[in-house]
Each structure stands twice: as structure tokens, then as C-alpha cells.
Chains A and B, each alone.
Chain A
Amino acid sequence: MTRADHLALAEPIEDADVPVAEMVTTTRRAEARAVMATVAALRGQGVPVRDIAIVARDLDGYEAPLYRAAIQYGLTPVFWTQLRVTRTRPYALVEAVCETLGGDELTAETLCRPLEHRWSPPSKTTKPWSLDPKEVGGVIEALPDGSRTLTEWRDEFAAVPTIDERFERYVEWLDDCPEPTPGAVTDVLDAVVDTYEQRGLPVTKANDSPALAETEQDARAVVRVKTLVRHLGHKYADRLEEGTIERSWSAVAELARLMVTQRPGRREHSNARAVDVLEANDVWLLDIPYVIGVGLVDGEWPQQTESVVPPELQEAILRGEGQAGTLAPRAAWTDGRDRDQFDDTVRAAGAGLILTRHTETSAGEERRPSPLLDYLSPEVVSDDERRRLLSDDPQLPTAVQAMYDTVEGREDEGRHDSEEASR
């Protein structure tokens, strides 16, 4: 299917309500430098850092160059990268352990969930433990229905001589776990993640394909969860001191989830020197005076997602004629999501929108402008102006300076609003 067909699926995007400038550089690195030079120059004019945000369709390619450029300009970038850690096994294990320890009455399923996530007894020995999901499932089915306390389960297990001794050992471990003081929380969970690294991770590796992609993901998750456990202990201690959390393992589980799903927000950073760098996915409904959209390059934004379904079948389903009308059109087959997010980015800008792109790959191949740019009518920053921006005596390009001057003209109401918002 051609791009025109994809685009025909949606209405044109409306032009921006604020002035738009376009800045073009040769490489991605140069683009990142121009972006940070713009941020620094706006800061130099007295624009608070929280009034500026940088938006990329996909941070993967931009995080490193933007970071380097930010450092050059004495700026601290905060990257709002998506935390997917909640979908990893080490995280699931930590959460399951907390929930099992926190439950008053447990069903067999809840009781055994940590085992499904490859819990094994913390100890110095590296003796294989390996309970596979099938064995765990078998034991869950053999256990009686209904909820019991940990101690009752321990008695239950002790009364059944045929039960795998590893299960007994597990319930003993649970029952012997200390009360959730901050120190105990850190110790217990640390040990849980450590043993996962020793015994769980090798299982992932053994089941993995030769490229070891899952092993790499799992190993990265182990590192992330270890860091989480450390922060979790501190935060839990703080909250206990403030009296804003109860002392329970369930509360620890909740706090852990809060910590991994909460990203640094503007309000939390409103006094900081950090400049927000977001993915377009996170811009929905935001209102920021200066928005800098980066990577307006064809293939980058919008980005074509790979599909296994033949384009002809995709097209028939997207058109939805006749029988195909009951079939759900899949967004990933179109650039619909990218369009929505581009529109979000355009609407987020309250004072001015600056869009940047580069024209060459690092290998020198041409990169074409994004077709999304056609919907707007940006004022293009000249090469001379860009050079002045990057010089030792940096000056904002006139198009960007005009955004600032316009806002200054409306200073009274504008500043009042932004103070309200930052409180």
C-alpha cells in the first residue's frame, strides 16, 4: 500500500495555533546540538526551563546525542523513557513475594505465584533448584481450595507426606520472613533478586534462542530491579517516618509499583534545572509554552512498523468494505498513531513550536523530510541564523525570537498562569 493510501485514512492535521519554526541540519548529532543550543538561548532570555520540552517520536535514536549536546550546554536532560520493568520476570517475582507475604489469607494460586516466577531459596549453594511451571501447576491443583494463612498452609504441607519437599521449604521461608521494617524489606528482596540472578536467569538462557535476546532483556531487568529494591527501602523508610504508609508487605508492593510506573513529572521538577525530553506518546493533553519536536524525518516520524500480514490483506481490512467491516482495523498498519502524536505535539505548544530534522544518516545517505511537515507552514531557519545560534555569542533565530517577543507582550496573564500551574 502506498503512503497516500495510509494518509487517506485520516483527515488532514490542522495547522498550529502558534508560530512554527523549522530547523534543518545535516546529521542527527548536529540536530541535537541545535536543539540544545535553542534551549540554552531561550534560558538565556529568561524562559524557565520547565516552560520548554523536547519531543521525539522515538527516544532510542535521540537519547544519546541529546544527552551529549545537553551536557555541552550545561543542561541536565530528563528522559521520560517508558519503564517496561513491570513486564519483566524479576519484577513480577518481587511483587509476587510482597503480595504473598502481605496477604492475610492466601489461595493456593497466590501462595505459589512466586514459585511460578522462579523463586528459589536464598543460600550460598548453587545447587540446582529448578521447579518448572508444570510442577508448580500440578501442586496448585493438588492443594485444597479456599484461602488460608501462611501458618495454616505450612501445617497443611507438613500433613501431606507426598508433597515435594521444595514446597515445604518455600512455605517455611515465607513463614520465617521478618516483619517488614525498611531494613528487612531491603534484605529480603535483595536476596530474592540475587537468587533469581543465580538460578532464574540461567533458565531464561537455556530456553532462549541462539541470539539470546530474552536473556539480555532478563539480565537488564535484574539490574533495574536491584536498583529499584535499593530505592524502595529508602522511600519506604521515608514514608513510614512521615506516617503516610502502613507497615505491611502489601504496602511495599504498592509502593514498588508506584515507583516503577511513575515518571518524573513537570511538577516534581518545577524548580529543577532539568529540561524534559519526552516521547510523543507522552505529550497528549500537555500544555508547554515552547515545544521542540525533533526527528521530523520520513521513516523516523512517521515510522513504518513491520508486519507479517501481506499488505494486500492489510489494505482490505483497513478499507473495511463488505465482510471486512466486522474486522478491526489495526493501527500499527497505518501511521495513525504517529499522526495522533504529531497532532498532540503541535497542540501542546502554547507559545511556539520548533521542529527539527536532519538530512543525512551518519553514513551519508539522504534522509527526507517527514510528510507530516506538509500540514504546517513553518518558517525555515536560515543557515546563517543556525550558525549564529551555535556560535560563541549565540543568538536565537528570528522566528524563535519572535515567539518569545509575542509571549513577552502578553506577559501579565501568561506569567500568572504559569505560576499557578507550577504551584
Chain B
Amino acid sequence: MQRRLREAQTPKQGVEFADPAAVGERLLTTATLSANALDRIDRLSMIRAVLADEDVSITPPAVPSDPRTVEQIRTEIESVTGFHPTRLDAVQDVAEGLVAPIDADATELVDVAVDIERALRQRTPKAVSEVESVRRATRELFRSDGEVWDAAYPAVERVSLAGISSIPIADIDLLHALLDSTSVPVDIYCRRGTGSFLSRRVAELLDVAQPGSVVFES
């Protein structure tokens, strides 16, 4: 986007470019919380260890047990639910409502994702992923009633999310917390191929309490 603006000779002054992960990092740093997150390589070796220690039980063939697949299960369920209590209940209900035997497989898949995330959280003081960092920032934003935002971005008048073909739930929750706890207006710019579908869904995605919260205790 920066390049396009430069080519169009549109001034970039007054515009700061950042992805949600960078925003989360700035918020956490401002709140003097750790913004450290595991990267994928670390996560894969940790998942391998979790599986080797049988911290999480997996029953093939419903759920394959190689670390990459397990990581993919974790990522997919995370992108849909953000491990938010209300959304996990919803996905479990939806899974249970499917025809047998798919209902059992789907339910187990969700359980494995939650168990793996929990096991990873217990093994590291860092955030399990960049996505979890964004959630930490979201919780902090909500908890501080916007104070951390004002400290991190005192001069920001407007937030725009642009260039998206999908809306990861962690990003939606971050925007949700921002809308609830500050007076900063938020715009979402969709694209032509997917825009009408996504824009129909956004309102309901904002319809959960405590954005960024997770089912895990700590």
C-alpha cells in the first residue's frame, strides 16, 4: 500500500502503516507487558514434545498426530473461535449438530485444538503465537478501558483495516475492544471479490462479550 501511495504521489504523512500484530505489540509494550511470542518453528518443536510426553491424547485416524497437522488444527480452530468461550460453545454445538460420524470427528478436532493450545500455554511464559499476542493486547485494551490505546497512539484519529480477503477473529476482537473502549472511529475496507460476503458477517462477529478473552485459566 505504501508503494501504491508513493507511485500515485500521494503524501504518506499522517498515515502510519501497521498490521494488527504490530499494533498489538505496541499496546503490550506500552502496558509494560511482554510482547514475546513463539514463532512457528518453536511452536512445532514444542508440539512435538507435547505429543511425545502424551500431554494431549490424540486418537488417529479422526485426528492425525504429526506436529504439522496438529498445528494446522490449532490454527484453523483459532482463526474461527479465537478460543473465546462463547465461540467455542458455538462451534461445539455446530459440530454436534452434524450427521454421524462427522459430528464426533469434528467435536474431537475442536477438543484437540483447545488441548494443544492449553498445553503450549503451560510450557511457555511467552504468548503461544502472534495471534495470542494480539489477544493479550485486546484484553489489556478492554481492561484498561482504552487507557493503553491513548498512551500508545495518542495522536491517532482513525483506524482503517484494509486489503483483506478474510477477517481473522483476533483482528475483529481487537477492533471490537477499540470501538468499545475508545472513541476512535474504525473503518473496514473489503475487496471486490469477497467484500459483500464479509460485510454481511462482520456485525454478528462483534456480538460477543469480552473480546479477546479465552477459555484458559491464566
Q: Is B81 an interface residue (CB 8 A)?
A: yes
Within the assembled complex, what's the spacing in Å between the Cα atoms of A88 and B105? 34
Q: Is there contact, CB below 8 Å, between A316 and B98?
A: yes
Stretch in B13-21, B144-152, B167-175, B177-185 with 4+ CB within 8 Å of A = B167-175
Q: Is there contact, CB below 8 Å, between B7 and A92?
A: no
Q: Is there contact, CB below 8 Å, between A9 and B197?
A: yes
Within the assembled complex, what's the spacing in Å between the Cα atoms of A344 and B106? 35
Q: Is B44 an interface residue (CB 8 A)?
A: yes
Q: A312-B99, A331-B165, A343-B191 are in contact. Are A11 and B196 (CB under 8 A)?
A: yes
A residues 296-329 in Cβ contact with B at 8 Å: 307-310, 312-313, 316-317, 320, 323-329
Q: Is there contact, CB below 8 Å, between B4 and A92?
A: no
Q: Is there contact, CB below 8 Å, between A330 and B166?
A: yes
Stretch in B33-41, B135-143, B153-161 with 4+ CB within 8 Å of A = B33-41
Within the assembled complex, what's the spacing in Å between the Cα atoms of A106 and B86? 41
Within the assembled complex, what's the spacing in Å between the Cα atoms of A312 and B107? 12
Q: Is there contact, CB below 8 Å, between A329 and B201?
A: yes
Within the assembled complex, what's the spacing in Å between the Cα atoms of A9 and B190? 14
Within the assembled complex, what's the spacing in Å between the Cα atoms of A342 and B165? 12
Q: Is there contact, CB below 8 Å, between B98 and A317?
A: no
Q: Is A339 an interface residue (CB 8 A)?
A: yes
Inter-chain contacts of B172 with A (CB < 8 A): 328
Q: Is there contact, CB below 8 Å, between A109 and B98?
A: no
Q: Is there contact, CB below 8 Å, between B102 and A313?
A: yes
Within the assembled complex, what's the spacing in Å between the Cα atoms of A258 and B72? 30
Inter-chain contacts of A92 with B (CB < 8 A): 39
Inter-chain contacts of B6 with A (CB < 8 A): 267
Q: Is there contact, CB below 8 Å, between B204 and A328?
A: no
Q: Is there contact, CB below 8 Å, between B191 and A328?
A: no
Within the assembled complex, what's the spacing in Å between the Cα atoms of A421 and B3? 12
Looking at the assembled complex, report how far the CB atom of A138 sits from the nearest CB atom of chain B, in whole angstroms.
11
Q: Is A340 an interface residue (CB 8 A)?
A: yes
Inter-chain contacts of A14 with B (CB < 8 A): 192
Residue of A nearest to B194 (CB): A336
Q: Is B48 an interface residue (CB 8 A)?
A: yes
Q: Is there contact, CB below 8 Å, between A323 and B93?
A: yes
Within the assembled complex, what's the spacing in Å between the Cα atoms of A408 and B50? 65
Within the assembled complex, what's the spacing in Å between the Cα atoms of A40 and B124? 56
Residue of B nearest to A324 (CB): B94
Which of the four size classes fits the interface of chain A?
A: 35 or more
Q: Is there contact, CB below 8 Å, between B80 and A330?
A: yes
The 8 A CB mask of B42-71 against A (1 = contact, 0 = none) is 101100100000000000000110110100
State how many residues of chain B have any CB contact under 8 Å with chain A.
62
Looking at the assembled complex, report how far the CB atom of B11 sits from the nearest CB atom of chain A, in whole angstroms.
16
Q: Is A13 an interface residue (CB 8 A)?
A: yes
Residue of A nearest to B167 (CB): A328
Looking at the assembled complex, report how far the CB atom of A340 sits from the nearest CB atom of chain B, in whole angstroms.
4
Q: A312-B102, A327-B80 are in contact. Are A337 and B34 (CB under 8 A)?
A: no
- In the complex, the number of residue pairs spanning A and B with C-beta atoms less than 8 Å apart equals 156
Residue of B nearest to A338 (CB): B193
Q: Is there contact, CB below 8 Å, between A316 and B94?
A: yes
Which one of B36, B64, B90, B106 lies within 8 Å of A327 (CB-CB)?
B90
Q: Is A209 an interface residue (CB 8 A)?
A: yes
Residue of A nearest to B191 (CB): A340
Which one of B4, B45, B63, B80 lies within 8 Å of A328 (CB-CB)?
B80
Inter-chain contacts of A324 with B (CB < 8 A): 90-91, 94
Q: A309-B106, A313-B106, A328-B167 are in contact. Are A336 and B193 (CB under 8 A)?
A: yes
Q: A313-B95, A323-B94 are in contact. Are A10 and B125 (CB under 8 A)?
A: no
A residues 85-119 in Cβ contact with B at 8 Å: 87-89, 92, 109
Inter-chain contacts of A347 with B (CB < 8 A): 192
Which one of B1, B66, B79, B94 lies within 8 Å of A313 (CB-CB)?
B94
Q: Is B22 an interface residue (CB 8 A)?
A: no
Inter-chain contacts of B1 with A (CB < 8 A): 285
The 8 A CB mask of A332-363 against B (1 = contact, 0 = none) is 10101101111110010000000000000000
Q: Which of B4, B168, B169, B197: most chain A Cβ within 10 A?
A: B197
Looking at the assembled complex, report how far the CB atom of B124 sits from the nearest CB atom of chain A, in whole angstroms.
8
Looking at the assembled complex, report how far the CB atom of B76 sits from the nearest CB atom of chain A, in whole angstroms.
5
Q: Is A161 an interface residue (CB 8 A)?
A: no
Looking at the assembled complex, report how far the CB atom of A139 sits from the nearest CB atom of chain B, in whole angstroms.
13
Q: A209-B66, A310-B105 are in contact. Are A328 and B98 (CB under 8 A)?
A: no
Q: Is B186 an interface residue (CB 8 A)?
A: no
Inter-chain contacts of B215 with A (CB < 8 A): none
Q: Is there contact, CB below 8 Å, between B165 and A328?
A: no
Q: Which 9 pairs of residues, A with B, have the shortest CB-CB distance?
A: A331-B166, A339-B193, A340-B193, A325-B204, A328-B169, A336-B194, A337-B165, A323-B90, A340-B191
- On B, residues with C-beta under 8 Å from A are 1, 3-4, 6-7, 34, 36, 39-42, 44-45, 48, 63-64, 66-67, 69, 72-73, 76-77, 79-82, 86-87, 89-91, 93-95, 97-99, 102, 105-106, 109, 125, 163, 165-169, 172, 191-194, 196-198, 201, 204-205, 207-208
Q: Would you give 15 A-B contacts (Cβ < 8 Å), ordered by A?
A: A11-B196, A214-B41, A266-B7, A267-B6, A313-B91, A313-B102, A323-B90, A327-B80, A328-B82, A328-B167, A329-B166, A337-B166, A339-B193, A339-B194, A347-B192
Q: A13-B193, A309-B77 are in contact. List 17 more A-B contacts (CB 8 A).
A: A11-B196, A133-B42, A285-B1, A307-B76, A309-B76, A310-B109, A312-B98, A316-B97, A324-B94, A327-B81, A328-B82, A328-B172, A328-B205, A336-B165, A339-B193, A340-B192, A341-B165
- On A, residues with C-beta under 8 Å from B are 9-11, 13-14, 87-89, 92, 109, 133, 137, 204, 207, 209, 214, 218, 265-267, 284-287, 307-310, 312-313, 316-317, 320, 323-332, 334, 336-337, 339-344, 347, 421
